[in-house]
Amino acid sequence: MVHGFRTSFKGWSLAAGWPDTLSELALAHVDRDKVRAAYARDDLLDQRRPMMEAWGRFCAGQEGAVVPLRRKAP
């Protein structure tokens, strides 16, 4: 279940237009480029906060459209 939730967050963040860097930091992914990772020391918390607040609103049904899923009749 956790992986699905993380995947949902990643898809939502990209579709909502948030920078990939911010969602990667929120997911605690490690930058595989060792040189770039060595210089990226800021956690960008002030920039991530609005993204996480928007994600919270989305999860609570306060933001975005919810499309009901129906099973097709046989």
C-beta of residue 26 within 8 angstroms of C-beta of residue 51: yes
Give the length of the chain.
74
Interval 9-64: pLDDT, tens:
888 899 999 998 888 888 766 656 665 555 555 567 788 889 889 988 888 887 66
Spatial separation of the C-alpha atoms in residues 13 and 4, rounded to whole Å: 14
Which regions of the chain does DSSP assign to beta strands (E)?
none
Q: By the 8 A CB rule, do 48 and 26 touch?
A: yes
pTM as predicted: 0.61
- Report whether 51 contacts 21 (CB < 8 A): no
